[in-house]
Amino acid sequence: MNKKGAILGIIVISIIVGVVASMSSSTNETFDVDMTRTHGSISTAMGSPILGDPLAPVTIVEFGDYQCHQCHNWFVNTKPMIMRDYIETGKVNLVFVDFAFLGRDSPKAAQATYCADDQNKYWEYHSSLYTSQESKIDNGWASSERLKAFAFNLNLDMELFNECLDSEKYSKRVQYNSQQARDNGVRGTPGFFIVDSDYNQTQIGGAQPFSVFQKILDSMI
């Protein structure tokens, strides 16, 4: 009887500990997002803020990893022309959704961007990661210390940023985004979906040149 009581007690305590732990983890991860935001078949609710005019008729959804050198190639070679000709003119907007699969520092780097977003510096931080990217995966360029250094360089409130990054506040958000990539058939980074207001969408795989984007965007606008 005593044995049974002890086992029952352990089970009850385990359940209570489990419930308390899950409650504390969910309170850790409350953040302000529009869960209804979708672009075509993709839920972009947990993705980046919209870059450009939110009412633009066409959206580019980019799936990327901060350690992916092809994403860096696209960021350097193609994105500036898309910014100039389509985003800054209000024809197109862009949403970045994390597909953090390349190395152990990839999810942490993605989480850091949302910690920067808490202080309204998402895109500045996003750009600083791609401009600071080093060619080697997991060599320490995106370690926690370096991620904090990037935040410091952008004059973010370091107490808030460090607390956010160290607590892994946005861990589930990044996982959700990576799952969106898998669910939508993305098989590598960068991967793009160009979605118009009628929910027609075209997929582009890889760091393709500006001419490809130009052709598709012009046909949709």
Q: Which helix (H) or strand (E) holds 38?
A: strand 38-39
| 212 lies in the site for another protein, by CB under 8 A | yes
Stretch that binds another protein, among 54-62, 120-128, 171-179, 184-192 (CB under 8 A): 184-192
Our measurement of the distance from residue 212's CA atom to the centroid of its chain's CA atoms, rounded to an integer in Å, reads 24
What is the DSSP-derived secondary structure letter of residue 153? H
Binding to another protein in span 82-111, by CB under 8 A: 101-104
Distance between CA atoms of 189 and 70, rounded to whole angstroms?
7
Return the structure tokens found at 86. Answer: 């389509």
Binding-residue total with another protein (CB under 8 A): 34
Q: Which is nearer to another protein, 128 or 178 (CB)?
A: 178
As a 3-state breakdown, the chain gives helix, strand, coil percent values, each rounded to 5, of 50, 15, 35
| 135 lies in the site for another protein, by CB under 8 A | yes
Minimum distance from CB of 38 to another protein (Å)?
Answer: 22
Can you say whether the dihedral through the CA atoms of 119, 69, 54, 33 is positive or negative?
negative
Please select the residue that binds another protein; options are 26, 120, 179, 211, rule is CB under 8 A.
Answer: 211
Q: Which is nearer to another protein, 197 or 203 (CB)?
A: 203
Residues forming the site for another protein (CB under 8 A): 65, 67-71, 73, 76-77, 101-104, 135-139, 187-190, 202-209, 211-212, 215-216
